[in-house]
Amino acid sequence: MPHDSDDLFMAAEKDLTDFLKGPIKSYEHLRNYDFGPDDRRNVSCLSKYISHRVLFEYDVIAKTLASHDHNDVEKFVQEVFWRIYWKGWLEHRPSVWDEFVSFNFDRTANADYQNAISGNTGITCFDSWVNELKDANYLHNHTRMWFASIWIFTLGLPWQLGAFFFMQHLLDGDAASNTLGWRWVAGVQTVGKHYLARSDNILRFTDGRFGNDTLNEDAKPCCDKIEHPVIPIDRAGGMTGKFATLIVFDTDLYLASPDAYANYDRVLVLCLGNDERNVALSEAVLAFKQKLVKIFVMRCANASLSDTNNILKMASSIAGVDVVYPFVGDNLDYLKRLSARTSLRLHFLKRQDDIHCWQYAKKGFFNFRKHIPAIIDRLGLQA
């Protein structure tokens, strides 16, 4: 089987293996420290692969528990489950995503916003993180919380603009984790509970690199009176095909084996361009996604790259297609527009692992967390 000379799928597996061999042992104690972009020894840096399912969350958990006792790696396992939980929470409340993307993002004339995204606020740590985000397309998870708090409570900017900025530049940005993470910091995800960045906390967990900035450490949480009803998730979803053509998006590139989709006449793989996205991605992020889908095509039998024009032409000649469910977000929004324009029938394939986990994602994560041991047992994630 041929591989790209710079196969990100192989790199992902190596990074996971290396992390499980050593750094995971100190993860719980060191994970909150941001030692800077040149020293990530204390975190996994796997999120850019997990968010595209180049590394499948459930496989990551299973491999972790195959080599370590659960009690020793519980915090890392929980962090992987956070992404699963966020997706499930948003699936139950898709109107949260709709509200976010309907926000008026045309704030280019706002000087405070321009200073923020240019790293010209005068807040040393924040300005440094802006440049790091643009250069590396990554920020440490703890730093993301500080960044969002400063953006909202010290700079006084809408959380939606910050979530938009992150989605533009993060390689691991996804609709659920990014949107809901920003809502949580603002105090609208868990109503009345917000996150305030403190200088002493930044000083400690950046190992003294930052911490001398004056921040608003007494701000009240944001207020959001919009109600988002919980809707049921279709539990009839499965991976049983119905049509001869399958569509795969960059949000779920999990491939159990090269012939996993070999029963299809063709597998069409899409990475939407910015003209089809609610949030226009930076060149680096879009190029990363495009590279991932190209490698997926090389690895998957019957797969070929496609685009929206090709799908639109095809829609007039076939009755329907199967689709690996892409989750609430830009890809699903594209499919909704496609359905409105054509008579093409869409048959979604949903992974049973997701369906099982999402039933516990209607409330807060702490409620979800108490089910993790049973989920691990039920899904056979621990030998």
Cα of first residue to Cα of last residue in the chain, in angstroms, is 30
pLDDT single digits (tens) 130-161? 999 999 999 999 999 999 999 999 999 999 99
With 50 as the cut, is the pLDDT of residue 338 above it?
yes
Read off the tokens for 293.
């889908």
- Residues 6+ positions from 29 with CB-CB distance below 8 Å: none
Q: Are 355 and 382 in contact (CB under 8 A)?
A: no
Read off the tokens for 339.
């359905």
Read off the tokens for 185.
């910091």
Overall residue count recorded for the chain in this entry: 383
pTM: 0.96
- Band of residue 282 on the pLDDT scale cut at 50, 70, 90: very high
Indicate the class that CATH gives domain 8-93+358-378.
mainly alpha
**pLDDT, averaged across the chain:** 95
- Band of residue 6 on the pLDDT scale cut at 50, 70, 90: low
CB atoms within 10 A of CB 309: 8
Q: For residues 202 and 146, what is the distance between their CA atoms, to the nearest angstrom?
A: 8
**What's the CATH code, domain 245-349?**
3.40.50
Q: For residues 176 and 198, what is the distance between their CA atoms, to the nearest angstrom?
A: 26
Element (H, E) at 266: strand 266-270
pLDDT single digits (tens) 237-265? 678 889 999 999 999 999 999 999 999 99
Q: For residues 183 and 203, what is the distance between their CA atoms, to the nearest angstrom?
A: 25
- For residue 38, which amino acid is it? D
- Band of residue 196 on the pLDDT scale cut at 50, 70, 90: very high
Q: Are 8 and 292 in contact (CB under 8 A)?
A: yes
Query: Mean pLDDT, to the nearest integer, of 53-72?
Result: 97
Indicate the class that CATH gives domain 94-205.
mainly alpha
Q: What is the tally of helices (H) and strands (E) in the chain?
A: 18, 5
- Band of residue 341 on the pLDDT scale cut at 50, 70, 90: very high
- Residues 6+ positions from 24 with CB-CB distance below 8 Å: 44, 64, 68, 73, 76
Which pLDDT score, from 0 to 100, does residue 5 have? 44
pLDDT single digits (tens) 164-180? 999 999 999 999 999 99
Q: Domain ranges in the chain?
A: 8-93+358-378, 94-205, 245-349
Query: Mean pLDDT, to the nearest integer, of 94-116?
Result: 90
Opening angle at CA 83, ends 364 and 226, nearest 5: 45
Which pLDDT score, from 0 to 100, does residue 2 have? 41
Q: Are 215 and 199 in contact (CB under 8 A)?
A: yes
